[in-house]
Amino acid sequence: MPLPFEKSIDELEARIRDMRSFAEEQEVDLSGEITALEQRLATLTRDTFANLSRWQRVQVARAAGRPTALDYLARAVDDFTELHGDRTMGDDPALVGGLARVGDTGVVVLAQQKGRDTKENIHRNFGMAHPSGYRKAMRLFDVADKFNLPVVTLIDTPGAYPGIAAEEQGQAWVIAASIQRMSRLRVPAVSIVIGEGGSGGALAIGVANRVFILEHAIYSVISPESCAAIRWRDAAEAPSAAEALKLTAYDLLEQGVVDEVIEEPIGGAHKDPAAAIETVRVTIERAFAELRSHTPDDLIRERRERFRRMGRFLDAA
């Protein structure tokens, strides 16, 4: 289960565990040795994660054991209760929505949910939503506006699903419509990329007043694999594509695509989910505390200006 570059960390953890049980069974005092090893572990982990290549970060962002959206909904907000259905054609398990509470304020939450095991992954379509999912999102944006409920979205998807039904049901249309709908929200909206921010399918629920990204999450116009297949004509060049795409949290901060990087526990969110979730909770609360005094008109204007500014070019005029 450990990622390739986590192997030494994993081995060191195993050695510490072994030494602990040995010391216990044999009733010998190895605390000095254990402390030394733990310090080595901490340094190794810090160094490893401080120097991850972009491709390695892609792997962390997708790591099994990394907290999923429902893990955050269970503990980074209160009283989460799921609402189902797009009122049109179905209920998409890849895009979860509902009501919750942040402090004393009701909120609408929308989140892309990957599976935590194979069975759930199949049920959740690996977090790849169909048009139905985005229609559900838009329906709940209406609820948010009607009842003045701020919006939290958690982004974690390889992308919107590329399939026959999805195309027939207007995948492009609903993504565009969801971007537009979210830009018109009269309430504060906060988006957090918690894992994989996969292109238009991610952006469709990412048109927020504040966009955060977890330290080891990514956000990209295309997956490194697809990019490599097209531009290198070789999917094995995914690491090169990841490098070229500049898709890590700090890359995106530099590009102005995200407003803030949320630090993860050392070794990544999967090493200490509870800590990661708590940081997200604090971030959400802080963002809403700041945004709740903004008027609806200001919120719309700020959100529009935020996205209107996106891009880099030379202006000769």
Partner 1 sequence: MALERWFRRKRPTRGDDDASPAGLWLKCSGCHAQIYRKDLVANLYVCPECSHHERMPVDARVEMLADEGSFERWSGSVEPVDALGFVDTEPYRERLTSVQQRAHRPDAIVTGGATLHGIPVALAVMDFSFLGGSMGSVVGEEIARAAERAADEGRALVSVSASGGARMQEGALSLMQMAKTTVALEALSERRLPFISVLSDPTTGGVTASFATLGDLVIAEPGALICFAGPRVIQQTIKQDLPEGFQRSEFLLRKGMLDDVIPRPELKARIAAFTRLLLAGIGTQGVLPAPLPAPAMAPDEATDDPDGAMGSDSDEEAAVRAPAV
Please report, as a single letter, which amino acid is at residue 131: P
Please report, as a single letter, which amino acid is at residue 99: L
Contacts to a copy of itself from residues 3-32, by CB under 8 A: none
Q: CA 281, 282, 285 angle in degrees (round to 5)?
A: 85
Map residue 216 onto helix, strand or coil.
Answer: coil
Map residue 97 onto helix, strand or coil.
Answer: strand
E strand or H helix that includes residue 16:
helix 7-26
Of 75, 200, 266, 302, which lies in the binding site for partner 1, with binding defined by CB under 8 A?
200
Q: Does 89 bind a copy of itself (CB under 8 A)?
A: yes
Of 23, 30, 90, 239, which lies in the binding site for partner 1, with binding defined by CB under 8 A?
90
Maximum C-alpha span of the chain: 79
Whose Cβ is closer to partner 1: residue 205's or residue 280's? Answer: 205
Minimum Å gap between C-beta 285 and partner 1 is 14
Which of the ranges 166-174, 179-187, 227-235, 295-303 carries the binding residues for a copy of itself, by CB under 8 A?
166-174
Of 43, 173, 184, 301, which lies in the binding site for a copy of itself, with binding defined by CB under 8 A?
173
Q: What is the DSSP letter of 264?
A: P
Which of the ranges 137-145, 165-173, 194-202, 288-296 carries the binding residues for a copy of itself, by CB under 8 A?
165-173
Minimum Å gap between C-beta 147 and a copy of itself is 17
- β-strands 95-102, 78-83 pairing: antiparallel
- β-strands 189-198, 210-214 pairing: parallel
Of 115, 150, 195, 265, which lies in the binding site for partner 1, with binding defined by CB under 8 A?
150
As a residue count, the chain comes to: 317
Q: Which residues bind a copy of itself (CB under 8 A)?
A: 87-89, 135, 169-170, 173
